[in-house]
Amino acid sequence: MKKWVIIGAIAAALSVVGFFVFGSKSNGNSNEQIPVANVQKGDLVIDVLEGGNIQALNYLEFRNEVRAKAGVKILEIIEEGYFVTEEDVANGKVLVRLDQSELEEEIVDHDVQFQQTEAAYAEAKQNIEIEESEALSEIKGERQKLRFALLDFQKFVGAQAAEQTLRKLKLPFDTLTLQAYEDEATDLIVKAFDSKKLAETTENDLGSPFDLGDEKESLSSNVNFGSFLKNELLGDGEAEQTIRRMRDEALVAASQLAVVEESVEGAKRLHKRDFITKQTLDNELVSLDKARLALQRSETELELFQDYEFPKEAEKMLSNYEEALLSLIRTKRESMAKMSQIYAKYRSAKRRYELELKKRTNLEEQMASCIIRAEKPGLVAYGGANDNYYTSRYYDGIAAGATLKNGQPIITIPDMSKLGVEVNIHESHIKKIELGQKVYITAESVPDKTLVGRVSKVAVLPDSNASRYNPSLKVYPATVEIEGTHEFLKPGMSAKVEIIVEELADVNYVPVQSVFVENDQHYVFRKTLGGYEPTPVVIGAHNNEFIEIREGLGNGDEVYLKMPDDYEPSPLQIADRANERKIESGEKESDEEKATASQEVDEELKDKENA
């Protein structure tokens, strides 16, 4: 492995020597025609050049506000380029007149709509009485379920235990308290169903029958029913009767076990004296085991009922009672919700007149927008201030007789005191652009005048319209604000902008076409007395014409602007690249691989000669 590393290092050193020694070629007749440039030293401006259109940054735009499905036609429009004066603004000069006939018909149809609204109001009023009757019937059924759930809980745990439990939970515990609860709830429901109070009452005004605390957690889960058995709180309920029966069964099993145990003891004594056989004694022992199992089963059944079955059934019945209370509350709330909907429809029908009146007002506003009058002095331009190729295809042209879509720009009066240039920055330059950078602007119609501006806006995302038909094109819209006012500038003029990214002082630079790249190494062909010499360089920033040379060249050196025709990498360089790949992979090169690499070098040289 070390041997190949040493060989590779020697080969790399020889390749560098060969690159500089054999790279200096004779400047034959083919190279005499290649243009040469001198390395210059001085200030270098790094800029980004783009083209765009001059636009007004502030403007008054009039759009079509008529919401006609088929659009609205232009009856009259002032000619483009007309300058609106202060006198025109004072006299209210008409700039655009749109067709109003469809709006007039819609206003007539609006009167019929109001009559339908009045009929809906009468129907909503009748639905109130129907819903009140249905709600009362549902609440009556829930009230009955609640009473039955209370009786089931009292039957299981006994009246005394049920009362103590419900008192602690602050729930109705007998017929009187439940009746009081029902009377209070019913009274509130009746009051709530009053048409006047229902519209004003909220859920917070309903009182205690609707307030059981936190409904997300059952109250029955917080009751320790095991303490009922320890403290002997159970009365003569169904659970107490079941426990008594199981205890009696356990006592009987214990008595039978005692009898069998005495019988087994007697059998053992008789067997010792050989009065009974071994089989008879075994039968007695089997009877003893059965008696013990019977006692254990009775005791286990009693324990399971006391520890599990009783708490489960008691909690279940209390939960059913609690659910019945909540169900009554839910039913009342659902009924109130239904009634709220009925009253909402009633109020909606009542307010429909106001909505229809508002609609009428909107139609009148649209009618008023059909006549556009002068509001600000300035130059009249057709369309919107930010129209582009795609919006112009979506909208029809502005002219008398044309049909306008809703929201379509009609005319724009720009503010000529503040102009700018809208440009699209290619994604390769967007990282260089920052707000506030200095910009030089040249209008194509006035190329002898250069204006100064600043970058005032740069988009965060690329323009989706620009990449609609060319997905690979990514440009970012930017705005350049022009400093000062200039009478010769007009919106829509084409302009070129030079965004100053960086200003380098006292640096060496050469034309960008004189720098070449090979194997991630930048180099130039420096002109020598004997021809040329490939010279590696370290580059810096660049613009469209020049590139900074930080290392490798000096002031006054001459470089070719084109790669010499007779230049080709040496065989040693090509072989070196193959060896480097081998060394980096850590593999040993066999004789066959060496022959293959040599053949690849020969083929590469032949290809270059043929080229």
Q: Which pLDDT tens digit goes with each residue over 230-285? A: 656 676 777 778 888 888 888 888 888 888 888 888 888 887 887 888 888 788 88
Residue 371 lies in a domain: no
- Asked if 585 and 558 count as a contact pair (C-beta separation under 8 A), the reply is no
358: three-class secondary structure by DSSP: helix
Q: What pLDDT is recorded for position 217? A: 60
CA nearest to 322, candidates 179, 203, 170, 206: 170
Of 509, 507, 508, 608, which is closest to residue 563 (Cα–Cα)? 608
The edge-to-edge listing of strands for the beta sheet with 94-98 is 371-373, 94-98, 72-77, 403-404
Overall average pLDDT of the 342-365 stretch: 85
Confidence of residue 384 (pLDDT cuts 50, 70, 90): confident
d(CA 205, CA 208): 9
DSSP count for the chain of H helices, then E strands: 14, 23
> Looking at the predicted structure, is the pLDDT value of residue 547 above 50?
yes
* One domain for residues 120 and 8: no
Check pLDDT > 50 for residue 207: no
**Which of these three, 307, 331, 363, is where a domain ends?**
363
Residue 390 · residue 468 · CB < 8 Å: yes
Going by pLDDT thresholds of 50, 70 and 90, the confidence category of residue 587 is very low
Residue 289 lies in a domain: yes
**pLDDT above 90 as % of the chain:** 13
Query: Which DSSP letter does residue 555 get?
Result: T
Choose among 524, 519, 554, 551: nearest CA to 538. 551
- Of 338, 363, 388, the domain-final residue: 363
Same domain (yes/no): 120, 15:
no
Same domain, 131 and 242: yes
Based on the fold, state whether residues 123 and 14 are members of the same structural domain.
no
Residue 136 is assigned to a structural domain of this protein: yes
Band (pLDDT 50/70/90 cuts) for residue 27 is: very low
Question: Which residues make Cβ contacts (< 8 Å) with residue 115, sequence separation at least 6?
Answer: none
Per-residue pLDDT tens for 504-530? Answer: 898 999 999 999 988 888 989 998 887
Residue 309 has pLDDT above 90, yes or no: no
Sequential DSSP letters for 302-355: HHHIIIIIHHHHHHHHHHHHHHHHHHHHHHHHHHHHHHHHHHHHHHHHHHHHHH
pLDDT bin (cut points 50, 70, 90) of residue 569 is: low
N-terminal to C-terminal alpha carbon distance within the chain: 38
Is residue 243 domain-shared with residue 343, that is, in the same domain? Answer: yes
Task: Give the dihedral sign, CA 148/151/156/157.
Answer: positive
Going from the C-alpha of 352 to that of each of 115, 356, 363, the distances in angstroms are 10, 6, 16
Confidence of residue 77 (pLDDT cuts 50, 70, 90): very high
User: Among 236-250, 388-402, 570-584, whose mean pLDDT is lowest?
Assistant: 570-584
82-to-25, 78, 261 alpha-carbon distances in Å: 70, 7, 127
Which residues are 62's β-sheet partners? 411
CA distances from 563 to 30, 31, 272, 472, 513 (A): 11, 9, 127, 31, 9
Number of Cβ within a 10 Å radius of residue 298: 19
How much is the mean pLDDT over the chain? 78
Q: Per-residue pLDDT averaged across 102-117, rounded?
A: 83
From 519, 511, 554, select the one nearest 34 (Cα to Cα).
511
pLDDT reading at 388 higher than 70: no
Tell me how crowded residue 559 is: count the other CB atoms within 10 A of its CB. Answer: 23
Q: Which of 309, 341, 363 is the last residue of a domain?
A: 363
Question: Coil, strand, or helix at residue 233?
Answer: coil
- Residue 445 located in a structural domain: no
Contact 22, 594 (CB under 8 A): no
| pLDDT for position 421 | 92
pLDDT category at 436 given cuts 50, 70, 90 is very high
The answer as to whether 548 is a domain residue is: no
Task: Name the token pair of 208.
Answer: 């205690």
Q: What are phi and psi of 408, to 5 degrees?
A: -70, 130
Q: Are 469 and 480 in contact (CB under 8 A)?
A: no
Query: Rounded distance, CA 2 to CA 232, Å?
Result: 94
Return the pLDDT at 137: 86
pLDDT score at 9: 38
The model's pLDDT over 449-496, given as tens digits with 9 standing for 90+, comes to: 999 999 999 999 888 877 677 778 889 999 999 998 888 888 888 999
C-beta neighbour count of 528 within 10 angstroms = 14
Q: Is residue 90 a part of any domain in this protein?
A: no
- Is 471 a member of any domain? no
Beta strand 546-551 pairing with 494-511: antiparallel
Number of folded domains that form the chain: 2
Q: Where are the alpha helices (DSSP H) in 370-474?
A: 389-394
Other CB atoms within a 10 A radius of the CB of residue 47 amount to 22
pLDDT of amino acid 220: 65
Tokens describing residue 245: 């029966």
Q: How many residues does the chain have?
A: 611
- Pairwise pLDDT comparison (225 vs 150), residue with the higher score: 150
132 with 264, same domain: the answer is: yes
Is the same domain home to 16 and 162?
no
Q: Residue 110 falls within a domain, yes or no? A: no
Same domain? 159 vs 15: no
Return the exposure string of 579-606: e unless at least 16 CB atoms fall within 10 Å of the residue's CB, then b: beebbeeeeebeeeeeeebeeebeebee
CA distance linking residue 178 with residue 184, whole number of Å: 10
Question: 121 with 14, same domain?
Answer: no
How far CA 548 is from CA of 37, 438, 459, in Å, comes to: 14, 21, 29
Residue 178 shares a structural domain with residue 292 = yes
What range does the domain containing 158 cover?
Answer: 115-214+224-363
Backbone dihedral angles phi then psi of residue 110, each to the nearest 5 degrees: -65, -30
Same domain, 183 and 289: yes
- C-alpha span between 401 and 411 (Å, rounded): 15
Per-residue pLDDT at 30: 59
d(CA 399, CA 75): 9
154: Cα separation from own chain's centroid: 56
Whether 29 shows a pLDDT value over 60: the answer reads: no
Residue 16 binned pLDDT confidence (cut-offs 50, 70, 90): very low
Q: Per-residue pLDDT averaged across 186-196, rounded?
A: 62
Task: For residues 400 and 75, give the distance between their C-alpha atoms in angstroms, rounded to a whole number.
Answer: 6
Same domain, 171 and 320: yes
